[in-house]
Structure 1
Amino acid sequence: MNTIYRLLLVTSFFISQNNNAQKRIALFNQKDLKGWYAFGEEKGKANNASELFSVENNMIRMYGPKAGYLMSEQSFRNFELTVEFRWNTDSQFAKKSNSKNSGVMYLVPSETPDFLWPKGIQFQIKEGASGDFVLLQEVTLNINGTKTEAGKSVVSKRFADAEKPIGEWNKLQVISKNGVITQKLNGKLVNKGIESSVTEGRILLQYEGYPIDFRKVCIKKIK
């Protein structure tokens, strides 16, 4: 009887661990910017992220005359990241540039200092180029059998186009597992690499000068 009880406890433990590993975590609570800090090219780091960016109608709204970003306080390894985004074309929102250019960075090491733009991998969000890899500050990947060169900002183009028309919501997904990186846009594979030189780090939402909205920022830990 004791043996059976112990087996049941062990089984229950592993089921619980598996469920926890598969649980999706909302990094954005749709109410405020708790869990994030901001960095701007003029103000520097702001622990109160609302000093630089805002939340409205369950969206993160990034706009203004200066570039910057939101950085997650948490760091992650082996995960599936999901983010929804759209360009904000409302003329009432201040902007730095007319170029529709932004991105979601991931695997930004916790020891990396804040500046524009830190070490990590970027899912490029850019009119006509969404889905490209941008490898920043010496990060490398092996893509289609070739290792990328280490550099300040190295672009590896997407395999396919999948961005929706301007103004519509897009859904990006990043799967990072033991150095294998997969990027999807609106359900379509747009990029993939292996042997990533970074395997753990934070999530970063970029504002490069054209207003952009983010929502449903979620992450799921995977084995």
Structure 2
Amino acid sequence: MNTIYRLLLIVLFLFSQNNNAQKRIALFNQKDLKGWYAFGEEAGKHNNAADLFSVANKMIRMYGPKAGYLMSEQSFRYFELTVEYRWNTDANFVKKNNSKNSGVMYLVPSETPDVLWPKGIQFQIKEGATGDFVFLQEVTLNINGTKITPGKSVVSKRFADAEKPIGEWNKLIITSKNGVITQKLNGKLVNQGTESSVTEGRVLLQYEGFPIDFRKVCIKKSK
């Protein structure tokens, strides 16, 4: 292999790596909550998300006496969203209740008002139900050829269980493209559907009363 050919291969490899890196966006920089705003049950909207939630040890830490969420400032259309989470069982963290219930919402339209909980699709994170779809505020999806009946909050059960024991980190991956939605948990397909009635929107991390930590939150755009 001559020198010119080697150099060409190196250039092509670097171009490919750079192109992939450009498509992947870290929504959480592991330092602060830049790029997010917060909404609380009674506190309302806070452009300074640190008013309600915190960052420590490269983690988003969500806890406290009131429910709320973090909302991304950016909207996305076709994407692969990766989020890592774990339940925080440290008794020093204030909680609203003992129900291990949370979620990652996506495709939350930019025009939808801030309420608990806004229009969009939720990847349910809940003890005994992680991986369920929750369709909020009339959102619909076809699952196994049947259209979900629209409603305020409609659940479609997961296909399989894949959540790790309490306290361990879990990795969920959500893909959305051309109305096709898939949800994976720890490498296992847990839900999927087609013909989504929402195809573009923001990402939302839920706090429903039991402390939860998020660390990796990144999104890869697709064409």
With normalisation by structure 2, the TM-score equals 0.91
With normalisation by structure 1, the TM-score equals 0.91
Work out the CA distance in 2 between the residues paired with 1:120 and 1:21.
28
1:127 aligns to 2:116 (yes or no): no
**1:23, CA displacement in angstroms?**
2.1
Give unpaired runs (5+ residues) of structure 2: 1-11
Q: RMSD of aligned C-alpha atoms?
A: 1.5
Calculate percent identity across the aligned residue pairs: 87
Q: Are 1:83 and 1:171, in contact at CA under 8 Å, matched by a contact in 2?
A: yes
User: In structure 1, the residue corresponding to 2:205 is in which secondary structure?
Assistant: strand
Runs of 4+ in 1 over 4 A off after TM superposition: none
* One-letter amino acid of the structure 1 residue matched with residue 210 of structure 2: Y
Aligned to 2:4: none
**Per-residue deviation, residues 124-177 of structure 1 (Å, max 9, x unmatched):** 000010000000000000000100000000000000000000000000000000
Give unpaired runs (5+ residues) of structure 1: 1-11
**1:21, CA displacement in angstroms?**
8.7
1:27 aligns to 2:27 (yes or no): yes
Aligned to 1:94: 94
User: In structure 2, the residue corresponding to 1:19 is in which secondary structure?
Assistant: helix
Aligned to 2:9: none
Aligned to 1:199: 199
**1:24, CA displacement in angstroms?**
1.2
* One-letter amino acid of the structure 1 residue matched with residue 32 of structure 2: D
User: In structure 2, the residue corresponding to 1:50 is in which secondary structure?
Assistant: helix
Aligned to 1:43: 43
**1:19, CA displacement in angstroms?**
2.4
Work out the CA distance in 2 between the residues paired with 1:121 and 1:195.
13
Distance 1:21 1:146, change over 3 A: farther
Work out the CA distance in 1 between the residues paired with 2:145 and 2:20.
35
**1:22, CA displacement in angstroms?**
6.4
Q: Are 1:22 and 1:221, in contact at CA under 8 Å, matched by a contact in 2?
A: no
* One-letter amino acid of the structure 2 residue matched with residue 94 of structure 1: V
Work out the CA distance in 1 between the residues paired with 2:21 and 2:85.
26
